[in-house]
Amino acid sequence: MSEQAITFERNGTLHGTLSIPVFESESYPAILLIPGSGPLDRDGNVKRQSFNLYNQLAEFFTDNGFVTLRYDKRGTGRSGGEFIRAGFWDLVADARAALQFLQEHTLVDKQRIFLLGHSEGCMLAPEITRDKGIAGLILVAGAAESLLEALTYQREQIVNDLKAIKGFKGKLIRLLKMDQKIKRQGVKFDKKIRTSTQDVIRSQGVKLSAKWFREHFEYDVYEGLRQVECPVLAITGSKDVQVTPEHVYEVPKLVKGETEVHIIEGMNHMLRDQPEEANMLQLKKVYKRVGEQPLSPTFLEIMKTWIQRHV
């Protein structure tokens, strides 16, 4: 494939990469990669952590004949703006601007544009399909789940993992009632977010985007899915501890279009096959070298079969 650095405008300049197949054609189907939460660049990387997620996805789709667009989120990579001040609807608007770029590109078949949302991108993507004209939607590692539900699930996993620790360390954790402390902190945090009025606040000494949390808490992800009329492929992994894997089965009950869902055994949130046990407390260790690993072959095969059928 060949790659071009591109820019598009949305309250500032956003930068991205357009990947184009090597074989010549008057036009190609296209896919927009909508990133997950956090200050991710166009490759799905953050400072001091390389996931190499979206560049691998771009290579996969472009090898299969798609023009593929991935971009630096505002305030990351080369894109302008402040990441910490971007709310849910700002991110929706940024993705819409990226979609418009694709729709206006001379090499793109406007009748065959697809969206792939990863993690938070699963929540953004249904809103973008309201613009109609989307040929298909791929929801990966986060379908049919709100941010608040995902946070609650993560906290439950942490509590369960703490309770499972054995030996002296486990006794100390139980003595200090760490599980109860985490639950109280979660309730306190959610209340602080809901009652906040500023875009940015501090929580336990850390600056964070209250606007982003508030808008997510207010957004009805299920209603967003009810507006989807195009074909949908929803995939998650059995070792994904950042979202609830079984929520993927809610998608066919909500969307109006043809739907296919999968839980891939052993795949984690970063779309890699994970030999280690699913454990929230071990995420940093599991993800340490995840960027050097290939995407799950089963995941790629399922997507390949689906896109061939719908293109």
pLDDT at 163: 87
Q: What percent of the chain has pLDDT over 90?
A: 88
Higher pLDDT pick, 309 / 180 = 309
Same domain, yes or no: 272 and 159: no
Describe the crossing of helices 167-175 and 147-163 by its angle, rounded to 10 degrees. 120
**pLDDT at 12 > cutoff 90:** no
| Judgement on whether residues 47 and 125 belong to the same structural domain of the protein | yes
Task: Show the tokens assigned to 19.
Answer: 């990947």
Shared domain for 165 and 306, answered yes or no, is no
pLDDT at 29: 98
Task: Give the confidence band of 175 by pLDDT, cuts at 50, 70, 90.
Answer: confident
Is pLDDT of 306 > 80? yes
255-296 pLDDT, tens per residue? 999 999 999 999 999 999 999 999 999 999 999 999 999 999
Q: Angle 3-4-10 (CA atoms, 0-180°, nearest 5)? A: 130
Does residue 131 register a pLDDT over 80?
A: no
User: Per 3-state DSSP, what percentage of the chain is helix, strand, and coil (rounded to 5)?
Assistant: 45, 20, 35
State whether 57 and 187 are in the same domain.
Answer: no
Q: In terms of domains, do 124 and 263 share one?
A: yes
Do 129 and 68 lie in one domain? The reply is yes
Predicted TM-score of the model (pTM): 0.95
Task: Name the domain count of the chain.
Answer: 2
Largest CA distance in the chain: 68
Residue with tokens 């995941």: 299
Asked if 197 and 126 sit in the same domain, the reply is no
Check whether 5 has a pLDDT greater than 80: yes
For residues 169 and 86, state if they share a domain.
no
Q: Compute, in degrees rounded to 10, the torsion defined by CA atoms 251, 71, 104, 21.
A: -90
- Domain with 119 in it: 2-146+220-310
Distances (CA, A) of 112 to 31, 71, 116, 145, 259: 8, 20, 13, 27, 17
For 112, other C-beta atoms within 10 Å of its C-beta total 19
> Does 46 share its domain with 172?
no
Q: Does the structure show a pLDDT above 80 at 50?
A: yes
Q: Bigger pLDDT: 182 or 62?
A: 62
pLDDT, tens only, 186-219 = 999 999 999 999 999 999 889 999 999 999 999 9
Q: Are residues 80 and 9 in the same domain?
A: yes
Q: How far is it, in rounded angstroms, from Cα 74 to Cα 80?
A: 6
pLDDT at 24 over 80: yes
Which CATH number goes with the domain that contains 44? Answer: 3.40.50.1820
pLDDT at 114: 98
Average the pLDDT over 127-149 and give the result.
93
C-alpha 114/C-alpha 309 separation (Å) is 13
Mean pLDDT within 53-79: 97
pLDDT of 143 reads 95
Same domain, 11 and 137: yes
Residue 95 has pLDDT above 90, yes or no: yes
Tally of CB atoms within 10 A around 12:
12
Burial class of residue 19, CB neighbours in 10 A (0-12, 13-18, 19+): buried
Question: Mean pLDDT over all residues of the chain?
Answer: 95
Give pLDDT, residue 245. Answer: 97
